[in-house]
Amino acid sequence: MIMPTRRRISFALYTLACLVLLGLAAAILSGSLEPAGDGAVAWRRTAPGGTVVADAFRAVAAAGLAGLLIVTLPLLLTRFRAGDRLARVVIPLGLLAVTVPAAIALAAVWLETPVVPLWYGAAAGVAGGAVGLVLDAPWASADRPRRLVTVAVAVVVPVLVGVAVLASGVVGRGVDVGLNTVLAAPRPGVSPEIAAFHDDLFIVDLHADTMMWDRDFLGASRVGHVDLDRLVKGNVALQVFAAVTKTVSARPAPDPGRLLVGATVCLSPDSLNQTGLLQVAQFSPLATWFDLEARAIHQARRLKRFIAETEAHDDGTSPRMVLIRTADDLDALIRQRRREQASGGRPRTVGALIAVEGTHWLGGGGTDPAAGVETLFAEGFRMLAPTHRFDNTLGASSEGCDPDSGLTADGAAFVGAVAHNGIVLDLAHAADATLEGAVGQGAGPVVISHTGSRTACLGYRDEAPRPGCDANRNISDEDVRAVARTGGIIGIGLWPEVGSNSVEEGMTHYRAVLSALAEPSFVEEMRAAHPAYDPTDHIALGTDFDGAVSTPYDAAGLPALTAALVVAPMPVPLDRRAIRKIAGANACRVFATRLPGGSAERAAQICAPLLSGTDGRTALSQNLGGVR
């Protein structure tokens, strides 16, 4: 039996639509196409199988798009006569929906443009299949096989539509937009004098989760908290980008008596991995859907590609990034930014340091901790946290279900490997017992990359407890002092879970941490070993930008934090030198000590210029806009 013309066209449209969708999906899942945010995809020839594989996927998608054009254009240009009213309306509209995006997507693929909106190709494929279905009209047939085809198509088409929606990035982008917001809260005024002082700081932020999100980091955006444009506007000199691999939901605690500060819920590693679902929603490469290490490395490589792109297009005036892996890299960054400041403009070079927030796949009979740390070191990671928000095989989390279990034997091996490789140990999210075990190994200086004060949560001095503040998530006074004993730093962040719904509320956390560091007996203890001990040597910035949190400002709004530190009453007066240390000099000291090629003596040499700034003003001279 000869197939009617209408059915031959339908069959061709089905086939071509499948070629387009399967070609795009295979290219993305293999890694030969890298989502670049805002519903776009960069056509990269970096598939695991080499350029042949990448070209093959690209050719499949291009062939399908070209075929759709060849089949639909003649139909669109002729008067199509159909036997039913639905076809007369749907078919011409469907043909338009196929030809326009197919032409745009085909041109982009064929010309290898740097970025092409992915949904053009996906829309062409879905629309092509839909038009084929209308042309086929199986519902009009009494044949049982035709009715079965109808059922099959009714299942397949929604699946293809779902794939196309995921591939477009709409779902992942919606999650990003909904979770990473800026609070509508009042901010301190920034006078011209304070703005000038802020622009003279070397600002280091110890924690941002930006690489977790499918966003074009190099383009100016209003989504989330961080992109390169906002880092430059906020005068951020060094940004630590943390790879997030697993986040889970809270559940009723099996034994509430084991939890800290009377909590009744905890986070278990057996709960659904929401970060894994985010990989699916963002259509990340297939390996990242299931493998935590692959997920971390994928985020690191995304950052390195962004850095390489700024280097490749450096015109001497546009923002650029450099990767910080050694003490020498940090020294070079400081020198470069001072040269840029001396030229009269805003520094345009931003350093990037790669971290992991929870190395959950190490230990426990899986990857050997020492081997896993070496792999991460080779990929460029220079700060590692053993835990995140739940207990794992390395140690207990402050929000986990068994916080008293502390650091495990695998965790101790991990801490040793981190110290051996010249990596900074991050104890954010670690339970008190885990922190105690880690610092007891002499792995200093250590950092708490982003936290608030437990004392501030529960009520600092005569202040009321902070509603919504999770005391378990935040650091105790004794842990503050334990970190300081290693020479380390505590990065203070401002977001609702640490009890900060505004910049002003966040100052309570700075006051509480400073009070813990300035407690008279502790000062006496520290100065017996370190006569020059100063409580302000151990405080830093840790924003948790893009960490699925709401913050009082984004990266461009950091001058508001400087203004607050200038005017807020503190138990230890904050002069120019103290604010310079909190802004970044303290973090510089830790990195220049711990990174490969670093030492305490090297840190003193590298970071000393940051304490006076380019204007040469010293700690106690001048008082502009309240800055002593």
What is the residue extent of each domain of the chain?
5-168, 190-240+302-611
Distance (Å, whole) CA 270 – CA 307: 36
Looking at residue 8, its pLDDT comes to: 76
* Maximum average pLDDT range among 214-228, 360-374, 578-592: 578-592
> What are the angstrom distances between the C-alpha of 502 and each of 180, 437, 456, 573, 626?
15, 34, 14, 22, 21
| Span 443-465, pLDDT tens digits | 789 999 999 999 998 877 766 66
Q: Please choose, from the candidates 535, 603, 541, the residue with its C-alpha nearest in 3D space to the C-alpha of residue 574.
A: 535
Of 43-57, 147-161, 275-289, 605-619, the one with minimum mean pLDDT is 43-57
Looking at residue 377, its pLDDT comes to: 98
Looking at residue 249, its pLDDT comes to: 85
**Is the pLDDT confidence value at 11 over 50?**
yes
Tell me which DSSP letter residue 147 carries: H
**Is the pLDDT confidence value at 46 over 60?**
no
| Span 85-105, pLDDT tens digits | 555 555 566 566 666 666 666
**Token duo for residue 16:** 């071509």
Looking at residue 283, its pLDDT comes to: 77
Of 104-113, 420-429, 466-475, the one with minimum mean pLDDT is 104-113
Q: Which amino acid is at 74?
A: P
Please report, rounded to a whole number, the percentage of residues in the chain having pLDDT higher than 90: 52
Q: Say what angle helices 118-136 and 144-168 make with each other, to 10 degrees.
A: 170
| Residue ranges with strand state E in 376-468 | 381-385, 424-425, 447-451
Estimate the share of the chain in helix, then strand, then coil, as percent rounded to the nearest 5: 55, 15, 35
**Is the pLDDT confidence value at 618 over 90?**
no
Contact yes or no for 202/588 (Cβ under 8 A): yes
Of 161-175, 245-259, 463-477, 527-541, the one with minimum mean pLDDT is 161-175
Instruction: Give me the chain's average pLDDT, please.
Output: 83
| Span 580-590, pLDDT tens digits | 999 999 999 99
pLDDT band at 166 (very low <50, low <70, confident <90, very high): low
Distance (Å, whole) CA 204 – CA 451: 15
What's the whole-number mean pLDDT along residues 284-313? 93
| Residue 451 bridge partners (DSSP) | 492
**Is the pLDDT confidence value at 171 over 80?**
no
| Span 27-42, pLDDT tens digits | 655 555 554 444 444 4
Looking at residue 55, its pLDDT comes to: 61
Q: Where are the alpha helices (DSSP H) in 492-572?
A: 503-517, 520-529, 559-567
Distance (Å, whole) CA 411 – CA 403: 14
Residue 570: count other Cβ atoms within 10 Å of its Cβ.
16
Is CATH 3.20.20.70 what the domain over 190-240+302-611 is classified as, yes or no?
Answer: no
pTM of the model: 0.78
**Lookup result for tokens 């943390």:** 242
Looking at residue 462, its pLDDT comes to: 64
Q: Where are the alpha helices (DSSP H) in 534-618?
A: 559-567, 576-580, 586-594, 600-607
